[in-house]
Chains A and B, each alone.
Chain A
Amino acid sequence: MSVVDSNLPAQQTFSVMRTVRACVFLFRLTLWRQIASRQTLVNFGLTTLCALIVAAWSHRGHRTAMGFSDYMLLPTFIGFLMPIFAISYGSSTIGGEREDQSLIYLLVTPIPRAAIYLTKAIAVGVLVALWSGGALTLLCWLAGEPGQKLLLVYLPASLLGGLMYASVFLLLGAMFRHGTILSLAYWFFLEVLLLQMPGTVKRITVSYYIHCMLYDAGSSFKLGPRNDADREMFAGISGDSAAIVLVFSILGLMTLGSYAFSKREYTELG
Chain B
Amino acid sequence: MTAIAESVPIAEFENVTKWYGPVIGVNDVRVAIPSGITGLVGTNGAGKTTLIKLLTGHLRPTLGQVRIGSHDAWSASAKQRVGYCPEVDTLYEEMTGRSFLITMARLHGWAGSELRDRVEQVLQQVGMSDRADRRLRGCSKGMRQRIKLAQALVHDPDLIVVDEPLNGVDPVGRLELMDLFRALADRGKAVLVSSHILGEMDDFAERVIFMGRGRVLAVGTLAQIRELFADMPLQVRVICPQARELARELMTCESVRGVTIDRADELSLQVVQAAVLFRHLAALAARGDFDVKRLETTDVTTEATFGYVMSAAAQF
Partner of A2 from the list B52, B158, B183 (CB cut-off 8 Å) is: B183
- Asked if B109 and A102 make an inter-chain contact with CB atoms under 8 angstroms apart, the answer reads no
Chain B residue at minimal CB-CB distance from A265: B59
| CB interface residues, B 106-148, toward A, < 8 Å | 106-109, 111, 114, 117-118, 121, 124-127
If A108-B82, A267-B59 touch, does A3 touch B187 (CB 8 Å cutoff)?
A: yes
Question: Smallest CB-CB separation from B179: which chain A residue?
Answer: A1
Asked if B151 and A105 sit within 8 Å, CB to CB, the answer is yes
Give residues of chain A (89-121) contacting chain B, Cβ–Cβ below 8 Å: 100-102, 104-113
Interface residue A231 (Cβ < 8 Å from any Cβ of B): no
Interface 0/1 of B81-114, CB less than 8 Å to A: 1111011101110100000000110111101001
Query: How far, in whole Å, are A100 and B163 apart by their CA atoms in the complex?
Result: 18
Judge if B56 is at the interface, Cβ distance under 8 Å: yes
Q: Which residues from chain B contact A265 at a C-beta distance below 8 Å?
A: 58-60
Q: Shortest beta-carbon distance, B303 to chain A, in Å?
A: 26
- Judge whether B242 is part of the interface by a CB distance below 8 angstroms: no
Interface size on A, residues (CB 8 A): 39
Stretch at the interface among B37-45, B72-80, B205-213, B246-254: B72-80
| CA gap between A109 and B151 in the complex, in Å | 11
Total cross-chain contacts (CB, 8 A): 119
Q: How far does the Cβ of A145 sit from chain B's closest Cβ, in whole Å?
A: 43
A8 to B107 alpha-carbon distance, docked (Å): 17
Kindly state the separation between the CA atoms of A160 and B126 in the bound complex, as whole angstroms.
48
Of A19-27, A63-71, A75-83, A178-186, which binds chain B?
A19-27
Known: A101-B88, A269-B58. A22 touches B106 (CB 8 A): yes
Please state if A21 and B109 are interface contacts (CB–CB under 8 Å). Answer: yes
Task: Report Cα–Cα, A11/B111, bound state, in Å.
Answer: 15
Asked whether A33 is an interface residue with its Cβ less than 8 Å from the other chain, the reply is yes
Most B C-beta atoms less than 10 A away, residue of A15, A26, A106, A110: A110
- Contact: B180 with A3, CB < 8 Å? yes
Proximity string of chain B (268-309) to chain A, C-beta cutoff 8 Å, 1 when within and 0 when not? 000000000000000000000000000000000000000000
Contact with A along B140-169 (1 / 0, CB 8 A): 000000000001000010100001000000
B176 within 8 A of A: yes
- Report the minimum CB–CB distance from B72 to chain A (whole Å): 13
Against B, the Cβ 8 Å flags (1 = close, 0 = not) of A1-39 are 111111010110111001101100110010001001000
Instruction: Provide a sorted-by-A list of 22 A–B residue pairs whose CB atoms are within 8 angstroms.
Output: A1-B126, A1-B176, A1-B177, A2-B183, A3-B184, A5-B187, A6-B121, A6-B156, A8-B117, A14-B80, A22-B108, A33-B94, A36-B94, A101-B88, A101-B90, A108-B84, A110-B77, A110-B109, A267-B59, A269-B86, A270-B49, A270-B87
Q: Which 5 A-B pairs have the closest CB atoms?
A: A18-B109, A3-B183, A101-B90, A110-B80, A25-B106
Residues in chain A within 8 A of chain B (CB atoms): 1-6, 8, 10-11, 13-15, 18-19, 21-22, 25-26, 29, 33, 36, 100-102, 104-113, 265-267, 269-270
